[in-house]
Structure 1
Amino acid sequence: MSLDDLTRLVTDPAIEYRPEVRWWLAEGLHTDETLLREVDTAHRLGFGGMEFLAMDEAGIDHARYGWGSEEWTHDSHVVVKETTSRNMAVSFTSGTNWANANLPTITPDHPAAAQELDVVTEDLGPAGSRSGLLPRVDLDAEAPTTQLPGHRGKVTEQHLVAVVAARVLEATTLDLQSVVDLTDQVRDETLEWRAPADGQWRLFVLWMHGTGQTASPSASVNYTVNYLDRDGVEAVIDYWTSVVLTPELREQISRNPRVQMYMDSLELSTYGAGGLFWGRTFAEEFRARRGYDITVWLPFLLRSVPFMAVSTTYHYDVREEHRVTVEKVRFDYVRTLTDLYIENMLRPFASFLHDNGITLRSEISYGLPFELTRPGPEVDGIESESLEFGAQIDAYRLMAGPAHLFGKQYSSETGATTRNHILDHRFYDQIIATQLAAGITKTVLHGWASTAGAEGVTQWPGHEGMWSRFSERFDTRQPAAEFYPLWNKAIGRYQAVLRQGRPRIDVGILRTDHFTDNTIGLALTDSEGRRIQDEDAYGRMWMRDRQNHWWQDLDMQDAGWTYEFFDGSLLPRDEVSFTDGLVQPDGPGYQALIVYQETLDANVAAKLLQWARQGLKLVIVNGARELKWLVAGQHTTHHQAAARTPGLDGRDEELAQTMAELRALPTVAEVHDPAHSRQALRDLGISGRAEFTTGNQSVLSHLREDGDLLHLYLYHFLYETGEPTTVEVALPGIAAAHRIDAWSGDIRPHHGVRHEAGRTIVTVSLAPGEMALLTLDRAAAQPTGSDPVTAKPLQEISQWTIAVESWDAGDLEVISEDRGLGYETREERPLTAITRLDAGHGPLRPWKDLPEVGPEVSGVGEYTATFTLDQAPAAGTRYVLDLGSTAGALGCVQVNQGVVKGFDTSCPQVDVTGDLRPGQNQVTVRVSSSLNNRLLARGYYDAIPDIIASFTGGNETQQTTVHGHGLLGPVRLLQETTTS
């Protein structure tokens, strides 16, 4: 790409670069009128695509409108057709709690349904004997509740898998050496056995049965499919082939090159005492892959998982001398789960989708005891989520590894919080800004809902879709929707530029974990159980309190070095190469790798040795600490890196020999404190590609290389606690530097450039929360340096005429539809009443402090003022209108009759150079708010449960206070000049 190509790209970024939305449909209830209006509105507001799914809607006939019904099929066709006609992307949604991941064609007893391994125990005293039928699982017992959605349906069949006995040393400690497999002694589900005379014994009777997990809404009872045996995916493929993918739908799909299946988080549950995911082929597959029988180890795998895999607790343990052995077996179990998920679900499902013109985008492995990065090569797009990982940079770096290694589109579901209509827009902008710093270039907003919903249950501001206690809505109920076209175009410019070329990541960090904490965004209570609000946690804690979660030393980050994580077992794949000193040179181009965890696969170590002999730079780091589970305050310290293999493969000595050979190589360094890692890398000859000349604790960066162009993204991430900062970034090559204004699409020369020692050094000043996007052109003829600019205030605009468009509940519109099927579909659509409140002329103050407006108002404020320029704007001088603060709100600026321009919510400045004239100038600023103040005044939050309280057994409602919305200023006209 040339600079001219880049200019064309950012002038009006194509629709495929714009943010998309997750659309929560009220099952199949929406009328065609509503569906058409919503798709057209999303397109008009600048969104690039819609991902749709059925949400449970109260007060309607699920058999008529649920997933799988004729109404749902019809609505799906309408959505696909209408998005396609507007060149928008469209995504079906798959996930355990969205009914279309489950099937009406199976029962829990079918092998295609999800299976679990359950257990019943018997205790025997010394020399105690038992005979007769083995105890069975009571499938009629009430299923335990879980913190995941869904519930257990009726399960009727169970199949004996194994019977194992073990001597009990203490209540939950078993004698490993005593374990005996009695399965071969079972006859017709009966067992006669006498326990040895030495101590108390426990008999473990292990049965496989369906989990029975189902979810609503659907037209019939749909059961969760089996993700481990091939039966599950074959049943899904058969159902989609024969029922869902009608000729009409296939025809529409063929017209749209951006049809996707989005596989949401795998919120699978087990309900029995065993807590183990299982399948009819699991034991056989385990033996073939791991080289030993799993049966005698089953008592040590029994577990409880109240919420996501990270919450796993094992029921039984062993003496300390055997603990590592059992940990190896537990690793082998979950590694096998990951293998089967990849081979028996993702791979064939992706192949089927591709054959039908659909790509697969997935939150791979989320929520289950699966490795999180290893499935990356199997999907077309890798998706992260702002909620589950609390929008933390280390979490985004985790998923960036496989995305960049294999050239996958890296996206994130963005905007799910535990608040509703409360947070200012800047909060969500900061999530997106953090994502961009990790290489995420597709934002899928969570989410969108029509304001229309079922009769009798839909109230203003409209049908909620994703529960009123959870997430945010980026649709027309928001006063900010007026400014979404400007906002979507700005985010589209960032995403367009940062998809060009290839990422340049300095360091790859090997990290394997089957229980990665994906509950960070719910860790919102303090040590005394008090609720921490999202805005405080995201803005002041965790990464913004200098507490990264997995690589906790911040020396590389503070130096501008970039790094990301991935499972080392991805390195031996054929698609991954080491050439010219770089790992995956056509991908992230890691200059070095880091090994820090106590376990390392022997095959991975062998690959590292092979590459290190060819010049790979490797640092072995001992003593690193990483997060295990934030809610519980648990961390893991890896005292010695690569001390053993993770599984029970008998290769510890082989690993030790390989590591000894590695340590002897000149390209390998070892440190005993993570804080020494960067210096060790520097001693090996490594430097950051976009390195800060001096340390900076406020800025994150991301770099893309696109031929002669380098695209540099910078972000001041301390948006609540930081101060303005200036950073110098040194980049390779002699280049001309350009600054891209994402809000206007302008590309202008960047001032603050010098060249030395074959590098270009750019100086960038950033306000807290501000993003910057620069492009360096190394093909430019004789690039020269330039001094930084300084902004001189010309005048402050202190007096404004103020009016606020106050939003409140209006009339209720009824929408009806008769499609000739013998019934009428009716929706209610709450309308918004907008009242203009004139607040007179005077200084800027929050709306709540304006007598004519007050603390109960949400909406859009309009501010007008005039100011005088004594002379015409000087040629070559840039004039900037600095709004000071808009209370984190979206808005726009227009000077005289110039173009309406948007602005960064953290640094609301607008280039008005071309709009000024000598003499009197008029400026109009429009600023939106959230619905917080109006909903608070209406008592809306009195009935909204706090989702965090519900997890801990409380009954508190969401708490909020009156916000100080409005243009707060000070508003100043700045003149930018270069220093001498």
Structure 2
Amino acid sequence: MSRFADHRSALRQPPIEYRPELRWWLAEGHHTDQTLRSEIETAHRFGFGGMEFLAMDEEMIDHGRYGWGAEEWVHDSAIVVEETTARGMSVSFTSGTNWSNANLPTIDPDHPAAAQELDVVTIDVRRGAPAAGALPRIDLDANRGDSLLPGHRVAPKTQRLEAVVAAVLTGDGVIDSSSVLDLSERVDGESLDWEPADDRDWRIFVFWAHGTGQTAAPSATVNYTVNYLERAGVDAVIDYWSEVVLTAELREQIARNPRAQMYMDSLELTIWGAGGMFWGQSIRDEFRRRRGYDIVPWLPFLIREIRMMAAATTYHYDAESAQQPEVEKVRHDYAQTLTDLYIENMLEPFAAFLHENGITLRAEISYGLPFELTRPGPAVDGIETESLEFGSQIDAYRLLAGPAHLFGKQYSSETGATTRNHMLDHRFFDQIIRTQLAAGVTRTVLHGWASTVGAEGATQWPGHEGMWPMFSERFDTRQPASEFYPLWNDAIGRYQYLLRQGRPRIDVGILRTDHFVDNLSGLVFVEEDGTRVPDEVAYGRWWMRNRENHWWQDLGMQDAGWSYEFFDASLLLHDDVSFGEGVVQPDGPGYQALIVYQEALDPDAAALLLDRARAGLRVLIVNGARELKLLLTGDYTTHERAASRTPGRDGRDEELAATLTALRALPSVREIDDPAQTVQALRDLGVIGRAEFTAENRDVLTYLREDGDLLHLFAYHFLYETGAETTVEVALPAGAVHHIDANTGEALPHQGTRQAGDRTIVTITLAPGESALFTLDRGSAGQDSVPARATTVADIAEWRIAVESWDAGEDITIVEDRGLGYVTREVKPTTAVTRIESAATALRPWKDLPDIGPEVSGVGEYRAVFTIDAAVAADGRLLLDLGSTSGGLGSVRINDGAARGFDTSHPVIDITSDVRPGTNEVVVRVASSLNNRLRARGYYEQIADVALQFSGRAGTHETIVRDYGLLGPVTVKRMR
């Protein structure tokens, strides 16, 4: 049994494995050893827990010398692994289709291991005008325009005839599916002689397979994307890493690091041709083996166009309305087959190879491609999401929380990327992290870290960009806030430490299959009239913060304090998933009930539901639910009748109907026709939220972990822009409640609990954006206590104000000669810091202080004194309330006490131990972003706005002068 005392030491000083990690953008292999070692030492000193490194394209350098695969890159990789390992930090290699180390110089577009696509050309024929002679081929060198994704295409030289299909067109883009003929056997060599037997409009579809020709940069040579569906693809990767990358020196370093990882980024595979289908030599045979029929007659219905990601798939041909349901089943079967092959031919063998070499695999599984989102979860060691593409939306993070929790995988996120580089206050990023914590993301990988040092001619202040200036953010030394990163990382480390203990407790699992998840929902920032909406407005006021969840749109469970998440129903069939104690996966999330709402349900999963429901599993069937399909186009799907068909063309619809009829008859099953009835229906089934609210609350999200006798509860007021202070009562099992101060690690008995039968009611008051952490000990008796009340005992209105203004300083040149016949030269821009003393004594934004103004960024220092009499100091706890710091990160020091961090949304600091009777000095330091200085320097005027690009428009970044500094009002309060 775990006891709370066991955690006190780790809460005071969170171990390194629980601290935020960094995505590190290297200027290829161009960094000197001095720079690499210095960057890692600095990141470690700042309190970061690990480095995920990758080669980013750097201008003005020789890619053949410094690109991925060159000796310089191999050498630098060894330095990175060595230095991180020596400090106990994690180290991650980076994979994915846009990063060179997932692609190979040992293949070309025509190689069996290279990514392939199925392309198409068409011939229109009629009776009397037959198709005769050589079939038209693909013009492999044609210009089809540029992709939104990085990288370029190298045209393949060969193409392979796969199939010839004829069909009748009954309208624009409409095919009579009953007319489809497979003419492949009639082809002689590459010639066809065929005439329709009637006068209808016939179209012949000629399908050719060829390499996609997709490449990735930067690399020493051209690196081609491998096939994620064919075993040849991963085998080629394994061979290259075994023979070239994993040198004896690197293997030795990896063996010393227990947290060496491979990170697989989102699957940004592109297709060049008109067919729009991912392909391989075995796809047709694998489809027949797995689905039981031939895919060839259905290929015309799979012709598609994909705009960047699979979510934006548009099919070119549909069937007549009565035939279309069967076509939808075929499309499902094709995507299901791709998912099978991705799991079996890429993830599983790649993970096995990595494990043999002391490396674990964490991945942004599936999204980007037409693969089912959650099914690959068991094949990887860690499941990752990201804030850029999911826009800090709790419902989006729930999409991958299901497989992560169901199979005990570490759930992590690439966090902090937006399209607003250097513009946003630190509070904005804290809110992303808190939204993710509420969904069970307990490993933060910040996006990202870039050395300020870069190549000559390409590097200017504030430093080497790394991830291009159009994407944020840079959590490195260029930020004025970096002074406070050690305190910030301590705080996040405490959250992540406690919220990884034990097992997650999730109330409800929602069965959901999605081969085309909208992972672009976090990038829709343009109104219909073309108005660019700032990221911070959309994040803070739209979507979930405007009561608009995307996938499960009824908010009743959320308002009741219940937790829920999504996963594909077929995962219930996995050997590692069990049912007992009335719940699914008792040693994992322990779902008390499962919801079925989509029209399609796997028949084997339905049979399992019936079996488990007979043993007491609670199942709710919900008709009429609506969910997001593609936010960019405003498309949604409404499921009129849940589980009314099987998803694929398996001929088992009647079997499914019979299973559902038996399921509906069980006492542990309910069916409703309105999602708004969900909570009541689940209550009727006996579901009681493990941390449910005693009354509806629309402001707070929670996440619960069970750790022996302990329950760890995270609570978050997510309406950080539009909300007001809220008080919520959370019902937990009986026990004593500790409130953990995330900024200090101190744990005190929570003031505001009452016992109600076998439950403890915890009263929590949160300001907008504030989060809190609690531990309930079921091994100790709870005591009733009233919430502490605050009394103001001092107002601090007079301040000495100074601002350390940041601007460009002199460049430093770093030269390295490794004795290889050349020298490497780096430029290190420095920051000139000018201290400006303000004559003002009242707190106002810097832009409104005449001697500071609107062009200054940096760190503000505020000094003042306050007086506390002995009686006040001895009675209760004393808090310093800073009011507002404009969302800036900072610190507080009282007298000679240690610097303390604070919550950027609710900057209230417990100063009890540092206050003495009489006069006390307070020093508050608050950082800004670089927005105002960079705006004044014209930094944004030439930077393309990528959010406009995604919407098909063009323009550069626009930003405004932002409020900086301590705004107050600042008060000292006594709590008792």
The residue aligned with 1:489 is 490
C-alpha separation in 2, matches of 1:697 and 1:630: 24
1:950 CA displacement: 2.5
Residues 1:57 and 2:28 aligned together: no
- 1:798-826 CA-partner distances (Å, limit 9, x unpaired): 11000000000000000010001100100
C-alpha separation in 1, matches of 2:256 and 2:839: 54
Q: One-letter code of the match for 1:135?
A: P
The residue aligned with 1:727 is 728
Residues 1:215 and 2:212 aligned together: no
Partners of 1:873 and 1:913 within 8 A in 2 = no
Map residues 112-131 of structure 1 onto 2, 5 A cutoff: 112-131=113-132
Q: One-letter code of the match for 2:748?
A: R
C-alpha separation in 1, matches of 2:632 and 2:342: 27
The residue aligned with 2:342 is 341
C-alpha separation in 1, matches of 2:679 and 2:953: 46
The residue aligned with 1:921 is 920
C-alpha separation in 2, matches of 1:36 and 1:434: 34
Residues 1:849 and 2:827 aligned together: no
C-alpha separation in 2, matches of 1:130 and 1:516: 40
The residue aligned with 1:509 is 510
The residue aligned with 2:792 is 793
C-alpha separation in 2, matches of 1:908 and 1:597: 44
C-alpha separation in 1, matches of 2:875 and 2:190: 90
The residue aligned with 1:762 is 762
- 1:921-971 CA-partner distances (Å, limit 9, x unpaired): 000000000000000111111111111223344332111111110000000
Map residues 349-748 of structure 1 onto 2, 5 A cutoff: 349-732=350-733, 734-748=734-748
Partners of 1:873 and 1:917 within 8 A in 2 = no
1:715 CA displacement: 0.2
Q: One-letter code of the match for 1:454?
A: A
C-alpha separation in 2, matches of 1:576 and 1:865: 59
Partners of 1:104 and 1:221 within 8 A in 2 = yes
What secondary structure, in the 3-state scheme, does the structure 2 residue paired with 1:840 have?
A: coil
What secondary structure, in the 3-state scheme, does the structure 1 residue paired with 2:319 have?
A: coil
C-alpha separation in 1, matches of 2:513 and 2:592: 20
Partners of 1:872 and 1:917 within 8 A in 2 = no
When the two structures are aligned, how many residues end up with a matched partner? 975
Q: One-letter code of the match for 1:352?
A: F
What secondary structure, in the 3-state scheme, does the structure 2 residue paired with 1:111 have?
A: coil
The residue aligned with 2:750 is 750
1:874 CA displacement: 4.3
Partners of 1:430 and 1:769 within 8 A in 2 = yes
Residues 1:973 and 2:972 aligned together: yes
C-alpha separation in 1, matches of 2:872 and 2:352: 61
Q: One-letter code of the match for 2:235?
A: E
Partners of 2:895 and 2:920 within 8 A in 1 = yes
- 1:364-383 CA-partner distances (Å, limit 9, x unpaired): 01200001100000000000
The residue aligned with 1:230 is 231
Partners of 2:22 and 2:448 within 8 A in 1 = yes
TM-score calculated relative to the size of structure 2: 0.99
Identity %: 67
Residues 1:811 and 2:810 aligned together: yes
C-alpha separation in 1, matches of 2:577 and 2:608: 11
What secondary structure, in the 3-state scheme, does the structure 2 residue paired with 1:692 have?
A: coil
- 1:643-673 CA-partner distances (Å, limit 9, x unpaired): 0000000000000000000000000000000
The residue aligned with 2:778 is 778
Gaps of 5+ in 2: none
Q: One-letter code of the match for 2:255?
A: S
1:185 CA displacement: 1.0
What secondary structure, in the 3-state scheme, does the structure 1 residue paired with 2:390 have?
A: coil
- 1:759-792 CA-partner distances (Å, limit 9, x unpaired): 0100010000000000001111x33111111111
What secondary structure, in the 3-state scheme, does the structure 1 residue paired with 2:715 have?
A: strand
Partners of 1:144 and 1:271 within 8 A in 2 = no
C-alpha separation in 2, matches of 1:253 and 1:572: 36
C-alpha separation in 2, matches of 1:324 and 1:793: 67
Partners of 1:127 and 1:196 within 8 A in 2 = no
C-alpha separation in 2, matches of 1:637 and 1:172: 24
C-alpha separation in 1, matches of 2:854 and 2:600: 57
1:170 CA displacement: 1.2
Structure 1 range deviating more: 783-792 or 17-26? 783-792
TM-score calculated relative to the size of structure 1: 0.99
Counterparts in 2 of 1:874 and 1:857: CA distance versus 1, 3 Å: closer
1:841 CA displacement: 4.8
C-alpha separation in 1, matches of 2:693 and 2:503: 21
C-alpha separation in 2, matches of 1:38 and 1:689: 44
What secondary structure, in the 3-state scheme, does the structure 1 residue paired with 2:403 have?
A: helix
- 1:411-462 CA-partner distances (Å, limit 9, x unpaired): 0000110110000000000000000000000000000000010101100000
Q: One-letter code of the match for 1:885?
A: S
What secondary structure, in the 3-state scheme, does the structure 1 residue paired with 2:838 have?
A: strand
What secondary structure, in the 3-state scheme, does the structure 1 residue paired with 2:432 have?
A: helix
1:851 CA displacement: 1.2
- 1:345-403 CA-partner distances (Å, limit 9, x unpaired): 00000000000000000000120000110000000000000011111100111100000
Q: One-letter code of the match for 2:745?
A: G
What secondary structure, in the 3-state scheme, does the structure 1 residue paired with 2:827 have?
A: strand
C-alpha separation in 1, matches of 2:961 and 2:624: 47
- 1:180-222 CA-partner distances (Å, limit 9, x unpaired): 0010111111111111223111010000000000011000001
C-alpha separation in 1, matches of 2:577 and 2:874: 53
1:869 CA displacement: 1.2
Q: One-letter code of the match for 1:801?
A: R
1:97 CA displacement: 0.6
Map residues 311-326 of structure 1 onto 2, 5 A cutoff: 311-326=312-327
C-alpha separation in 2, matches of 1:119 and 1:735: 66
- 1:310-368 CA-partner distances (Å, limit 9, x unpaired): 11000111110001000000000000000000000000000000000000000001200
1:876 CA displacement: 5.4
C-alpha separation in 1, matches of 2:626 and 2:782: 45
Residues 1:242 and 2:243 aligned together: yes
Partners of 2:367 and 2:516 within 8 A in 1 = no
C-alpha separation in 2, matches of 1:389 and 1:339: 25
C-alpha separation in 2, matches of 1:58 and 1:673: 57
C-alpha separation in 2, matches of 1:879 and 1:160: 78
Q: One-letter code of the match for 1:649?
A: D
- 1:482-514 CA-partner distances (Å, limit 9, x unpaired): 000000010000000000000000000000010
Q: One-letter code of the match for 1:304?
A: E
C-alpha separation in 1, matches of 2:918 and 2:707: 45
The residue aligned with 1:146 is 147
C-alpha separation in 1, matches of 2:64 and 2:263: 25
C-alpha separation in 2, matches of 1:692 and 1:202: 61
C-alpha separation in 2, matches of 1:721 and 1:210: 51
The residue aligned with 1:877 is 876
The residue aligned with 2:828 is 829
C-alpha separation in 2, matches of 1:955 and 1:564: 37
Partners of 1:137 and 1:207 within 8 A in 2 = yes
C-alpha separation in 1, matches of 2:222 and 2:337: 30
Partners of 2:873 and 2:917 within 8 A in 1 = no
Counterparts in 2 of 1:919 and 1:304: CA distance versus 1, 3 Å: same
Partners of 1:143 and 1:152 within 8 A in 2 = no
Structure 1 range deviating more: 405-414 or 188-197? 188-197
1:870 CA displacement: 2.2
What secondary structure, in the 3-state scheme, does the structure 2 residue paired with 1:176 have?
A: strand
What secondary structure, in the 3-state scheme, does the structure 2 residue paired with 1:330 have?
A: helix
C-alpha separation in 1, matches of 2:11 and 2:869: 34
